[in-house]
A and B are shown apart, each in its own frame.
Chain A
Amino acid sequence: MRIASRGLPLLLAALAIAYPWLVPNYYLVYAGALTVMYAAMATSWNLLGGFTGYVSLGHSAFFGLGAYGTGLLVTRLGVPWVVALVVSAVLVTAFAAGVGVAAVRVRGASFVIVSIALVSMMNLVVQGWRSLTGGSTGLQVPSPFPGLHRGQTHMVFFYAFLALLALALLVWWYVSRSRFGAGLRAIREDEDKAESLGVPTGAYKVTAFCLSALFVALAGGLYALWFGSLDPIFVFSILIGSYMVLMSLLGGVRHLFGPLLGALIVAPAGEYFLIALGETQIHLTATGLVLVLVVLFMPDGILARLTRRRAGPSIPDQSADQRLQEVTP
């Protein structure tokens, strides 16, 4: 059992590292890099959503800000791309701290609304600030590796996103075992009780918000360097934010590998829909229907379902009559 649970992740990691060498063409490397990017983003989303239960549909705001920050630093100031990536992620995190202080004052549905407002707001700013960002025509970012052809760039960024994913998973794992993580879980279960027991809920929530924004911003920065052209409508779309939510929910928000599993299902499915159904909008319908089905029938995710079945229910599944028979002589 232990060998299986330890060995499986190692095997999967080995497979992931070997993936670009195993697939026959560069398109699949590209699709793989995209999937790993979404997995990294969903895992970082889960730092907030999974621990605290605060569902943010607006994490694409941090993705877009990270992307635009990196792109602007490279194009306008001529900063080396590594520096631009880190500086922009740090700036976005500082921004997230400011937003977080206001946003986590409200719970539940209001928080979701605020997160939607945030991404719509950023979309407006970036499109409106034409002189800096290029407005709705977008921003062109020079490739950091001009010597490599397109396929090799896909490979480089596949590994970059893989490293980011590993980092996000490591942080999630570390937090889940820490006192901080226990505090965040207490917030999810009952925020008022947690606060009355002395958990600094406000500070914890803002910290989780920032941590989660940091990794999403890094993913955004890498995306900017990878794609080389930024479209504000895509980068700041609520769709990207909802993908993170869908992946996490589908896989299971309470599990380390839940968002990763969700991303492995949703991202390739999305790419497939795009190829199979072409440029129509029907892929939105597919995403929407899957989200409805997951919310209705599997809100705890696939992993929760699998693990519960293996471990067996903690309270035996029997009727009151059966239980009464056990205790009556």
Chain B
Amino acid sequence: MSLILQGLALGVLTGGLYALLASGLSLYFGVMRVVMVAHPAFLFLAAYLTYTVHTAFGVDPFLALPVTVPVFFVLGVAVQRLLVARLAPDNLAMMSVLLTFGLALTIEGLLGTFYTGSYRSISMEYATRSLTVGGVSLPYDRIIAFAVAALTLGVLFAVLVKSRFGRALRATIQHPEAARLVGIPTERVAGYGFGVGLATAAVGGTVLALITPFFPASHWVWIGKLMAIIVVGGLGSVVGAALAAVLLGVVEGVVLVTVDATWATMMFYVFVFLTLLARPQGFFGGRLAHRF
């Protein structure tokens, strides 16, 4: 029983991180109807940059964020304005997947060339201990990851709901033509949406670097996991993605402690196929998801 509890607790903590990592994907899909396969590759780019900052200057990995977040924001705007916006609109969904897939390969190749293929990790002294609550031990690194993810998601939601930019962004997501009619520069907003999405990847990458060892090809596993989350949640639904992230995180955690790691990862794909058979548009996807 305590094993199940342990799995549940770890699952919730990991699920929070998944929610942050998947939120960027929901944003891209919302503003441009683009499935950004390169998102996990950018995550690991951020992880490697954090690693470089950490080893070169010996500072806390989170101090890399003031550098990586703006850089990734600009990168995101550039990716949208220079690449995605240039695709022909009639086959955007497919072509954007291939385009971002090409980007992912490019990044993986560069990471492999500069950092070699061996495992890297950042271990901080404070992250190695764990907190024990009622027989369940929670590693501090997971708690930190969850807290950072929750904080970032909170800021993201606040920006989306409260700010003028957030309103423009949501209008662009809901109905681009109507948004343009009322004077929203939808192209620029879409660019900033990409920037915000990639900025979440910068945060996520730093957190990932703290909790798990990584190597250039590790983004493939994450493509599968994150895509599974947004398919189960329903493409384009930020809330759906967050709920699916926690759900799949918990399922993964429980299977991980009761069966093994292979089956834990497998659960993501099992859920994808179950979702497709039961409800192809995802469990929280509405109008948007239906056509995709």
Question: Nearest Cβ in chain B — how far from A308, in angstroms?
Answer: 15
Task: Find chain B residues with CB under 8 A from A213 CB.
Answer: none
A281 in complex: contacting residue of B33, B108, B230, B235, CB < 8 Å = B108
B292 within 8 A of A: yes
- Cα-based distance from A116 to B104 in the complex (angstroms): 14
Contact check, B262 vs A285: say whether CB atoms are below 8 A apart: no
Contact check, B109 vs A284: say whether CB atoms are below 8 A apart: yes
B143 within 8 A of A: no
Interface residues of A (CB under 8 A from B): 53, 55, 57, 102-103, 105-110, 112-114, 116-118, 120-121, 124-125, 127-128, 238-239, 242, 245, 249, 280-292, 295-296, 299
Interface of chain B residues 22 through 74 with chain A (CB within 8 A)? 29, 33-35, 37
Task: Find chain A residues with CB under 8 A from B86 CB.
Answer: 296
Known: A107-B291, A291-B101. Is A281-B109 also a contact (CB below 8 A)? yes
B227 within 8 A of A: yes
Contact check, A292 vs B103: say whether CB atoms are below 8 A apart: yes
B227 in complex: contacting residue of A53, A116, A289, A295, CB < 8 Å = A116
Q: Which residue of B lies closest to A289 (CB)?
A: B106
Q: Which residue of A lies closest to B263 (CB)?
A: A128
B105 within 8 A of A: yes
Contact check, A106 vs B97: say whether CB atoms are below 8 A apart: no
Task: Identify 5 new A-B residue pairs, CB closer than 8 A, beyond the known A57-B97, A282-B110.
Answer: A53-B91, A102-B276, A114-B273, A281-B113, A295-B99
A-B contact pairs, 28 of them (CB 8 A): A106-B292, A107-B93, A107-B292, A108-B93, A112-B37, A112-B97, A113-B272, A114-B272, A116-B227, A117-B224, A117-B272, A124-B266, A128-B263, A281-B112, A281-B113, A282-B109, A283-B109, A284-B105, A284-B108, A285-B105, A285-B106, A288-B101, A288-B102, A291-B99, A291-B102, A292-B83, A292-B106, A296-B83
Contact check, A110 vs B231: say whether CB atoms are below 8 A apart: yes
Q: Count of B residues near A, CB < 8 Å?
A: 55
**0 or 1 for each of B71-113: is its CB under 8 Å from A? (1 = yes):** 0000000000001001110010111111101111111111111
Contact check, B280 vs A286: say whether CB atoms are below 8 A apart: no
Contact check, B101 vs A117: say whether CB atoms are below 8 A apart: no
User: In terms of DSSP, what is the predominant structure of the interface of chain B?
Assistant: helix
Known: A55-B98, A117-B228, A284-B109. Is A102-B220 also a contact (CB below 8 A)? no
Contact check, B273 vs A102: say whether CB atoms are below 8 A apart: yes
- Cα-based distance from A155 to B231 in the complex (angstroms): 45
**0 or 1 for each of B268-283: is its CB under 8 Å from A? (1 = yes):** 1100110011001000
Task: Find chain A residues with CB under 8 A from B117 CB.
Answer: 281
**0 or 1 for each of B250-273: is its CB under 8 Å from A? (1 = yes):** 000000000010110110110011
Task: Find chain A residues with CB under 8 A from B102 CB.
Answer: 287-292, 295
- Cα-based distance from A49 to B111 in the complex (angstroms): 31
Contact check, A106 vs B94: say whether CB atoms are below 8 A apart: no
